[in-house]
Amino acid sequence: MHNFSLNIKHIGLFALLGLPLLAMAETPEEKGLAIAIEADKRDTGWQDQTASLEMVLRNRHGQESKRNIRTKTLEVDGDGDKALSIFDSPRDIKGTAFLSYTHALVPDEQWLYLPALKRVKRISSNNKSGPFMGSEFSYEDLSSQEVEKYSYKYIRTEEIDGREAFVIERKPAYKYSGYTRLTTWMDTEMYQPLKIEFYDRKKALLKTLTYSGYQQYEGQFWRPASMSVVNHLTKKSTDLHWKDYRFKTGLTDRDFDRNSLKRAR
């Protein structure tokens, strides 16, 4: 949070002085951070978001299994978002709901609702690197991307699949992260990621995540239609297909409290 406000101030100062930002002698770290701040700024103001997603898990033999999840997210100023996920399938876990208050540098607060027992369980959230629903995504990959979660370094600008992208190296600031480094290709127009390579704690390339089918909503917010991650060690992969994005639906804190878990549908 400190870094963030400091840099906003700097940018404001530069603007006041009428100095074009990019003309300044900028270190790769400053440029990387500036891109992250710009991406964050452009994706601010959506207030709340609902969407449904289909998750397709594929093992090394190509066998598939599917999960259907609905998500509700509330934008929180100056902190990580609040998120509620409701599972529709597999059918044996239908009605299971997962509530998290995400934070950048301290552990999230997480509750799980188990419908068969009618039990709300507070769960340990230190570990954000574990697999999400047996998929190749981790909790860390799917939680809100706050500027303070990483340190940044701009590498170069290059073309990827016909789009121009900043290549940025990020290092997680969170000590329980499952990664040592992420290389991100950030679209220079949308300020959204096109591809991310994840390096594990042994500094080996673990996974590659690619984004596709971006569409703009509310005239501002870009969201992908699909996200696909391949694990290079296990050869397993997971595709996420997003549907029915809606913004500013009027959700409040009340839709993200422990009571809301018990009646989530």
* Residue nearer to another protein on the CB measure, 124 or 162: 124
Tell me the number of residues near another protein by CB under 8 A.
37
For position 129 contacting another protein by CB under 8 A, the verdict is yes
Which of 161, 168, 146 is closest to 40 using CA atoms?
Answer: 146
Window 174-193: contact mask with another protein (x via CB under 8 A): --------------------
Instruction: Give the CA distances from residue 57 to residues 2, 23, 197, in Å, rounded to whole numbers and listed in that order.
Output: 39, 46, 19
State whether residue 30 is helix, strand or coil.
helix
For position 134 contacting another protein by CB under 8 A, the verdict is yes
Q: Give yes or no for a contact between 209 and 240, defined as CB atoms under 8 angstroms apart.
A: no
Window 79-98: contact mask with another protein (x via CB under 8 A): ----------xxxxxxx---
Looking at 5, 27, 65, 216, which residue binds another protein (CB under 8 A)? Answer: 65
For position 60 contacting another protein by CB under 8 A, the verdict is no
Tell me whether the omega of the peptide bond preceding residue 90 falls within 30 degrees of 0, making it cis: yes
The tokens of 117 are what?
């027992």
Rounded CA separation 181/206 (Å): 10
Three-point CA angle 27, 30, 31, nearest 5°: 85
* Residue nearer to another protein on the CB measure, 129 or 226: 129
* Residue nearer to another protein on the CB measure, 45 or 134: 134
For position 248 contacting another protein by CB under 8 A, the verdict is no
Which residue type sits at 142?
L
Rounded CA separation 215/227 (Å): 13
For position 244 contacting another protein by CB under 8 A, the verdict is no
For position 28 contacting another protein by CB under 8 A, the verdict is no
State whether residue 236 is helix, strand or coil.
coil
For position 62 contacting another protein by CB under 8 A, the verdict is no
Which chain residues interact with another protein by CB under 8 A?
57, 59, 65-66, 89-95, 107, 109, 117-127, 129-131, 133-135, 252, 254, 257-259, 263, 265
